[in-house]
Amino acid sequence: MTPLLILSGASRGIGRAIAERALERGFAVGGLARSADELATLVALNPERVEVAVADVRDQAAVATGAAAAIARFGAPSLVVAAAGTLGPIDRPWLLPAGELDDTLAVTVTGAANLAAATVPAMLAAGRGTFVAVSASSATRVFPGWAAYGAAKAGLDAYVRYLAEEAGDALTAFSFVPGLTDTAMQAGLREVDVERFPQVEQFRRWHERGVGKAPAVVAGALELALALPREDLHGNVVEADALLKAQAQAARRAEA
């Protein structure tokens, strides 16, 4: 039977790269996002194996309907990735507009919880499955200006720890940190003024030097993560950069 990946954030960036890698590996893909045009280009890659739904991850009913359509077509997912994310307002912690902060927390935490609600029961019924939440190092490390993003990702990591603890042996659940990746999210960040984002010049210089990874590299790092033993993943925060570094070191050792 064709394995199924269901993911949010399927329209572009890291989520889109994960979806495309999964298609290359023979998965069916159930992709959720708000951008219908970009989802249509995902379908066009492989109409036989792609089901998409226009859904805002904050909308529990829309996420449930979208995931159910993919499950009806391809069976229980073996892999679910909550990749949708937003930086939210960039400013000092005491200046964050409450409505924008609410939105950031809702996209990040409620969005992942909505995706879990729509998929985890099917994985538990099938007796197997993996749930990955795309997190960020700002959950534990301060980047001045990113309080909303950091708080949201820390909340997401906590949610994943609870999911891992409570779902039982059938599910593997972990947070996955991509590290600096060249996407629309990073492009938006480079436009923020220095008063609100003191490190903006550094991020602009990194971009000029090509430091950010391509989203496809992050998709490859997630594959490396998924090949690890369950005890290295379950309930943990797994970093793409550490996996890629270890892979490069192993390649160098093999050449020597």
Ligand X SMILES: NC(=O)c1ccc[n+]([C@@H]2O[C@H](COP(=O)([O-])OP(=O)(O)OC[C@H]3O[C@@H](n4cnc5c(N)ncnc54)[C@H](OP(=O)(O)O)[C@@H]3O)[C@@H](O)[C@H]2O)c1
C-beta of 124 vs 241, nearer to ligand X? 241
**Residue (of 148, 131, 218) closest to 183 by Cα position:** 218
Instruction: Please work out, in degrees rounded to the nearest 5, the angle formed at the alpha carbon of residue 123 by the alpha carbons of 122 and 125.
Output: 65
Q: How far is the CB of 33 from ligand X (least distance, A)?
A: 4
The least CB distance from residue 169 to ligand X, in Å, is 27
In the bound complex, what is the minimum distance in angstroms from residue 15's beta carbon to ligand X?
5
Q: How far apart are the first and last CA of the chain?
A: 41
Measured CA to CA, the distance from residue 136 to residue 20 in angstroms comes to 22
Rounded Cα gap, residues 15 and 27, in angstroms: 15
Contact string (CB under 6 A) for ligand X, positions 41-60, x = contact: ---------------xxx--
> DSSP string spanning 190-251?
TTS-TTT-TTHHHHHHHHHTT-SBPHHHHHHHHHHHHTS-HHHHTTSEEEHHHHHHHHHHHH
Per CB under 6 A, the list member of 13, 66, 77, 88 interacting with ligand X is: 13
Pick the closer one to ligand X by CB: 2 or 154: 154
Residue 238 binding ligand X, by CB under 6 A = no
As measured in angstroms, the least distance from the Cβ of 4 to ligand X is 19
Report if residue 12 touches ligand X, rule: CB under 6 A: yes
Structure tokens belonging to residue 120: 């985890």
136 binds ligand X (CB under 6 A): yes
Residue type, 157: D
Question: What b/e readout covers 133-150, taking b as 16+ CB neighbours within 10 angstroms?
Answer: bbbbbbbeeebebbbbbb
Among 78, 130, 183, 236, binds ligand X (CB under 6 A): 183
What minimum distance in Å lies between the beta carbon of 1 and ligand X?
Answer: 27
Site string for ligand X, 83-122 (x = CB under 6 A): xxxx--------------------x---------------
Binding to ligand X (CB under 6 A): which residues in 195-234? none
One-letter amino acid of 201: E
Extract the tokens encoding 226.
Answer: 């998924």
Contact residues: ligand X, CB under 6 A: 8-9, 11-15, 33-35, 38, 56-58, 83-86, 107, 134, 136, 178, 180-181, 183-186
